[in-house]
Amino acid sequence: MPSTGRPAIVSDHPKQTRARGQRSSAQRAAEAFIVNQNTSSTAAAEAEWIDTRGQLDAWLASVDGLLAVDTEFMRRNTYYAQLALIQFGHDGRRALIDPLAFEIGDALANMDRAAAPLWIMHSPSEDLDVMAPLLPGGPARLFDTQLAAAFCGLGLGMSYRALVEHVTGVQLDKGETRSDWMQRPLTASQRRYATLDVVYLHAIHEHLQRELEARDRLDWFEHDCQQLKQRASDRGIDPQPQRALRGGAFWSPDKQALLRRVLLWRENTARTLDKPRPWLLQDAQIMALVDERPDSDAAIAALTQGQRALRAPQRTELLELLRRPVTDDEIEATDAIPAPLDGAGKRVLAEMKHDVHALAESIDLPPGLLAPRKVLEELIATRNWPRALTGWRTDLLHDRLMARLPDQ
């Protein structure tokens, strides 16, 4: 569970109190582990190290019901994250799987079937992405504990450490948050840290599942888990990347089409070379290239100094892209970059945010979970109901938000 990409917003929601002497099953499960944690043996000693396909198949053979899952990965000098470790927890057993030691292949293929175990994960978007080569469609069933915490009134982005403390009272140290997970052998501290990432997931699931049912939020939560899984399994290229570069909002249609062309080239090239996008071109450099449209290799080199993955072959391709005239078909295929909201648009946004906050407070959900600002801006700009607001959000928000849009 690498620290990068993991939100660490801690909720101010008070812990539920219990009569003295009463302990939840979640706390009892945690305490059983704490005994081991405080002895001379480490948490890593409680996890089986798996470095062969035979071991993995044998371990998975008895898995059913609920499976705690986490990963460790590195994303430093590649486009694709490098899977370094998989952690599983089931029925008191834990396993650390070493994907660098053997080909996992189709060992997880059955996990996308209806009868497969429910995967309990915390903020799993990046984990599902890095595991996509092993399980392209993701697990059949998913329980995101961070998302569940939000539906239970604990705030957006609650960290794993904060959630463990809230549910079990256990305070975890930060441990190996900046660790090199590709090294072998892993240290005892690394193994312990990795094991702790799945130790408490079953207890957290039990607590949050019960709370979701009590709040009648289980259907909403399961809908959002399904949406999360679909987003994670979609590894396609964004066909309209220029929409994210608001600095080009007032450019001409042909210039926006050229911007789209260069951005799509960067994405495809980064994937082919397996290098980070910024190693090829920074966003600001792309804007400058499209704006100035240099017509020589030397001019491109002057605008792109220091780019580690932009070598002579890539500069040649880029020069051809910039020289080639923009076609009518390209212009037609390019969505206009949304312009900043004007005064009237800002007033509509303020009214929508007020509606969302009032509704969110009445149903004890974070406003950002109900309708993020970015989605509201999209609605105002396009006047089309956003995909992010489909499902249960449509029933709650559609009429009141659409009524805020001014007549055209």
Is residue 160 over pLDDT 60? Answer: yes
Is residue 16 over pLDDT 50? Answer: no
Q: Which has more confidence, 39 or 177?
A: 177
pTM passes above 0.85: yes
> Which of 35-49, 63-77, 239-253, 350-364 comes out lowest in average pLDDT?
35-49
**pLDDT tens digits along 225-277:** 999 999 888 888 999 999 999 999 999 999 999 999 999 999 999 999 999 99
Identical fold between 25-233 and 241-333: no
Domain residue limits, the chain: 25-233, 241-333, 343-402
Region of 35 please: left (phi>0), alpha (psi -120 to 50) or beta.
Answer: alpha
Cα–Cα distance measured from residue 286 to residue 281, given in angstroms and rounded to the nearest whole number:
6
Res. 22 pLDDT band, cuts 50 70 90: very low
Q: Which has more confidence, 97 or 23?
A: 97
Residue 273: its H or E element = helix 253-273
The sign one gets for the Cα dihedral 233, 98, 30, 66 is positive
Q: Which has more confidence, 292 or 18?
A: 292
Looking at residue 407, what is its pLDDT?
87
Looking at residue 1, what is its pLDDT?
64
Query: Could you tell me the two tokens for 144?
Result: 């995101």
95, 88 in Cβ contact below 8 A?
yes
Cα–Cα distance measured from residue 196 to residue 73, given in angstroms and rounded to the nearest whole number:
16
Q: Average pLDDT in the 381-396 region? A: 96
Is residue 34 over pLDDT 50? Answer: no
Burial class (CB in 10 A: 0-12, 13-18, 19+), 160: buried
Cα–Cα distance measured from residue 402 to residue 380, given in angstroms and rounded to the nearest whole number:
9
Is residue 303 over pLDDT 90? Answer: yes
* Gyration radius of the chain over CA positions: 24
Q: Average pLDDT in the 108-120 region? A: 94
Looking at residue 2, what is its pLDDT?
55
**327 — phi, psi (to 5°)?**
-95, 160
For 62, the 3-state DSSP assignment is coil
Looking at residue 37, what is its pLDDT?
42
Looking at residue 46, what is its pLDDT?
85
CATH architecture of 25-233: 2-Layer Sandwich (3.30)
Is residue 32 over pLDDT 70? Answer: no
**73 — phi, psi (to 5°)?**
-150, 165
DSSP state, residue 113: S
Pick the CATH number of 241-333 from 3.40.50.1970, 1.10.3720.10, 1.10.150.80, 3.40.980.10: 1.10.150.80
Is residue 12 over pLDDT 50? Answer: no
Task: Map tokens 């409680």 to a residue.
Answer: 46
Is residue 29 over pLDDT 90? Answer: no
Burial class (CB in 10 A: 0-12, 13-18, 19+), 273: middle
Res. 38 pLDDT band, cuts 50 70 90: very low
